[in-house]
Structure 1
């Protein structure tokens, strides 16, 4: 195990509360697509953040203060109990695994099925013609999970996949293996990401701690985004775009890339006010909505937005060059 991985893992384990006995927790598992799943025990945690704008301004001095005033959906901090053990993908779903799913199932991802494509990075794209003022080119048939505008290997996280594509993969795996696969709930995701920590990241409170724990916006990427250079971490992680999954230190549950690399779809609808009415046990999110939650940040994400508590969202048919997913495999009896 690399030295940086060992140091961070030991540090996380020192703060991890006793959550469950060994008998409560399922064993690790690898499925028919070669996806590795690690056991997540039941337990309790405090979900959300109540950090003041003043504290955040001190930690992130290069950000405008208004960014710290638009975080109402992270509050109130509330106690959540995850009552069941489950398996969670050790890594984000990779390009190779998604390809094998498509080849075996015949599913056509939305970026290809409707002919509109996905988003893509284009170094030569004129930012003046972009509503976002950046080098992400809007939907075009040339872009999809196969081509996000930068090179990827089969071991990189798949991106440009919609929430609907992720659900289709979970449904197919469930039918093939006779167990339930699904997207994690938002509460399960944050519980797993924190892995017993209460800091901004599983690696600590310092944004620079992400240099060993996450592929986020740093000095290796800032050359492609000069206008946002001040938001880049000073460190270099060796990747300007996505990195092979598992390249960075895991958290105390053994999960990689819970911060950075690719945003991850969750099962829930998003509602700014949901935390105020969330049940304590196994919250499932609002019963209706228009946008689905995504969590964790990506290779392009500034450190502030990669915090464990930060919430983001998109429409279920969104396909974007920053967004991928990981799956839950439920523990217990087979469904057939």
Structure 2
């Protein structure tokens, strides 16, 4: 349903002042969402309890969406180095620093099972921020511990500085770009175990640090216990990397569980308001089930977490 998608090679990229590469995503239409039955999902993800397959009402109904204008999307997730250059040039102070509460981070001595929050990561704590998620990163890794508001600030600064409109993708644009003409769970098919070839998700390498979740880990190894340098895996048919895994990606939409039931066909923008924003794609710590193209997650605009990053859209002239 995407014109010419099957014949696309890696598209040329345009680069901006922060060194972000953007590739052109053509206009087109696709089927958004999933209509897989709980029984079918249970067969493919036998390590998960049945209730998880019953809590997916927000992925339905499958509905036709038309993206009426081509757009440019970040070939990669925004990196640590690019975010640092933005902060240096703009003077912006990320929320994890500005509000004095910090972010979340990995601490091998922290035990989520005995903590008051029960969270997998320690925080909020001033020790953790985009500069320190509790594990080593280089400038080539995806920036994490950034809020939706931080992402908006980056897009607004780039727009003012360059005179071109940058923004977060809509949820529909994100899924359209992720699928790149497919209707399978992942860019390389339906088999969760094959995900290690194209994505950095929760596998046996990551599970070493979370032994209580060993059974939820993929049997294979993608070679990364935490984030991977962007572009470490194969791109999809649109030339986009890490659409599954590595870091959850903020999108512009507010979240509503029933939005798909009344979503417009052309360029849906999400509900007019709500309490939380959508994030997509899964992360290095995400079980394969939650890294599917159709899966929806959400957080408040102020959330900062060592799994959550961003990818921007540059509008076509």
TM-score bracket relative to the smaller structure: over 0.9
Is 1:250 the counterpart of 2:235? The answer is yes
Alignment of 1:36-51 (within 5 A): 36-51=21-36
Is 1:71 the counterpart of 2:56? The answer is yes
State the alpha-carbon separation in 2 of the partners of residues 326 and 97 from structure 1: 11
Alignment partner for residue 270 of structure 2, among 279, 285, 294? 285
Match of 1:212 in 2: 197
State the alpha-carbon separation in 1 of the partners of residues 201 and 12 from structure 2: 31
Q: Equivalent residue of 1:221, what SS?
A: helix
Is 1:60 the counterpart of 2:48? The answer is no
Match of 2:256 in 1: 271
Match of 2:208 in 1: 223
State the alpha-carbon separation in 1 of the partners of residues 234 and 112 from structure 2: 35
Return closer, same or farther for 1:44/1:135 CA change in 2, 3 Å cut-off. Answer: closer
* Deviations 1:168-216 (CA, angstroms, capped at 9, x unpaired): 0000000111010000000000000000000000110000121110000
Q: Equivalent residue of 1:224, what SS?
A: coil
Return closer, same or farther for 1:199/1:132 CA change in 2, 3 Å cut-off. Answer: farther
Alignment length, in residue pairs? 313
RMSD: 1.4
State the alpha-carbon separation in 2 of the partners of residues 174 and 131 from structure 1: 42
Match of 1:235 in 2: 220
Structure 1 residue runs without a partner (length 5+) = 1-15
Q: Is the 8 A contact 1:94 1:245 kept in 2?
A: yes
- Deviation of 1:128 after TM superposition, in Å, equals 3.5
- Deviation of 1:129 after TM superposition, in Å, equals 3.2
Q: Is the 8 A contact 2:2 2:29 kept in 1?
A: no
Match of 1:192 in 2: 177
State the alpha-carbon separation in 1 of the partners of residues 13 and 136 from structure 2: 31
Match of 1:151 in 2: 136
Is 1:86 the counterpart of 2:71? The answer is yes
* Deviations 1:131-157 (CA, angstroms, capped at 9, x unpaired): 554541020000000000000000000
Runs of 4+ in 1 over 2 A off after TM superposition: 16-20, 126-135
Alignment of 1:136-147 (within 5 A): 136-147=121-132
Structure 2 residue runs without a partner (length 5+) = none
Match of 1:101 in 2: 86
Alignment partner for residue 177 of structure 1, among 159, 162, 182? 162
